[in-house]
């Protein structure tokens, strides 16, 4: 895979994860009745990004090990 395709693939992952983070954080914060502001939504997106990339890196390490 060329570097350009790899960068585009990672950029697409990043954008989709940010969108999912915003959606999930809004849904979960509405369920637990948290006041929604920019900082709270940003925290939700950051937590979602960290979770997805930890899982992706873990899967990559196990794939390299096999």
For 2-61, the pLDDT digits (tens) are 888 888 988 898 888 888 888 888 888 889 888 888 888 888 888 888 888 888 889 888
Confidence (pLDDT) at 24: 83
**pLDDT at residue 13, rounded to an integer:** 85
**33 φ, ψ to 5°?**
55, 50
Burial of 25 (0-12, 13-18, 19+ CB in 10 A): buried
- Both tokens of residue 4? 């350009």
- pLDDT at site 61: 86
Cβ atoms of 49 and 16 within 8 Å: the answer is no
pLDDT at 66 over 70: no
Looking at residue 25, its pLDDT comes to: 81
* Number of other CB atoms surrounding residue 38 within 10 Å: 7
């Amino acid at each position: 895979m060329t570097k350009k395709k790899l960068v585009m693939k990672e950029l697409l992952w990043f954008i989709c994860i940010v969108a999912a983070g915003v959606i999930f954080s809004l849904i979960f914060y509405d369920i637990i009745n948290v006041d929604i502001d920019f900082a709270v939504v940003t925290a939700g997106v950051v937590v979602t990004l960290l979770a997805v990339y930890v899982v992706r890196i873990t899967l990559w390490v196990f794939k390299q090990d096999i």
